[in-house]
A and B are shown apart, each in its own frame.
Chain A
């Protein structure tokens, strides 16, 4: 288990000393929880914990950075290497600031550093306070992206990277869908890494769960996550089992046919209460979706009921697939009849 945790943390945290601390923290948390974990689930639990620990660190750092100008220096005496790190941090921040437009930079600095409020900024710019605040939010989102890129000393490899990172940084879900952010993160290693601190930002949502899917065990983790979330809506146990079974069928396809994918489980409020599962992969895609939904379709050992079977268990079911790019299955079960 330790090598896995170490690998996960090391992939996200470049600094070795910090990475070691986070690994220790993860193991401590897993040990503390070991009695509550179902047998056989310790490893998935450790993986999720490791990701959370890293995300929390980023979030805390980000929060500290944002609030830094507000504190009088209360920090403890600096460690020898802290100076170097702080210097790198300053470089990255300075570099990121130069990548903003002049107007963005001036407004941001006037607000964040000089403490000028949005009303007086709006008066100067001939705009409204609301518009200035929105502009400031966009600027901060851009600054976060540029800061991460500068700190990493990388340029995004594709033209899609910046729009995707920006959409994630601003937390704008509509924009994220427009640029197909989730798919891009599966395809682009750099963005997958940089997006971690960006996604950890903002209100933590307790009405959705994401499960990364690579190996067999992830199928079990995904269906258990779906069952647990659905249980909160008070679904009957028959419905819970049907949801878990449908998730099992669909997520297995990711492990079989695609190398990597992700399952998003969300609770829905409108048009009525329900649970939606989105399983996305960057695999070879399904050449003929209609054919795959037909009864008796089979491409692997088993009963060949993957898609049509899962469709029967859920209320709504849709498959979108693009050959060579991957497949997205979206399925919903409603809590009460419509």
Chain B
């Protein structure tokens, strides 16, 4: 059944903005991951901002999928920033004991884009960043 779109991946300059629109189950998350990584390669994106503001739960599977995406994107030469984690979700993630240190995050889409731009500029500027 072709229902409403569960997520969207939009291009903005050398950046991709991936927004998740509704709660995804595990197989939908994996499809999101696959689509996103493919799009990074196809569009030669340098940065990815993943907007998870619509998610009311980030459990161990969702978190590990996001980490995997970050790692896959890095291997493909793109920097990933996750934005929009809700305060309650953040609390639950920490109490659940999820380790998310390797995931770069920002408060919202605007900050996320600024972060990615900064990283890209920094990298072009003689790779001060890392």
| A, B from the same assembly | yes
CB within 8 Å of A: which B29-76 residues: 56-61, 63-64
| Least distance between B103 CB and chain A CB atoms (Å) | 13
Closest to A301 in B: B64
A47 to B26 CA separation, bound complex (whole angstroms): 19
The answer for the CA separation of A235 and B73 in the assembled complex, in Å, is 38
Interface of A is mostly: helix
Taken together as a complex, chains A and B put the C-alpha atoms of A246 and B59 apart, in Å, by 8
The majority secondary structure among interface residues of chain B is loop
> How far is it, in angstroms, between the C-alpha of A227 and the C-alpha of B92 when the chains are bound?
14
> From residue A231, how far is it (CB to closest CB) to chain B in Å?
11
Contact with B along A231-245 (1 / 0, CB 8 A): 000000110111011
Does A223 lie within 8 Å of B97, measured CB to CB? no
Interface presence of B95 (CB below 8 A)? yes
The bracket for how many chain B residues form the interface is 20 to 34
> Once the chains bind, are A248 and B57 in contact (CB under 8 Å)?
yes
In the bound assembly, the distance between CA atoms of A64 and B95 in angstroms comes to 52
| Contact pattern, A 291-310, Cβ under 8 Å of B = 1, otherwise 0 | 00001000001111110111
The answer to whether A241 touches B25 (Cβ under 8 A) is no
Within the complex, the shortest CB–CB distance from A316 to chain B, in Å, comes to: 15
Q: Which of A227, A295, A313 has the most CB of B within 10 A?
A: A313
B-side interface residues toward A, CB under 8 Å? 1, 3-6, 21-28, 56-61, 63-64, 86-89, 91-93, 95-99
Sampled A-B contacts (8; CB under 8 Å): A38-B22, A40-B6, A216-B25, A241-B56, A241-B57, A244-B92, A245-B92, A309-B96
A-B CB proximity, top 9 nearest = A39-B4, A216-B25, A241-B88, A309-B96, A248-B59, A245-B92, A303-B60, A216-B26, A241-B92
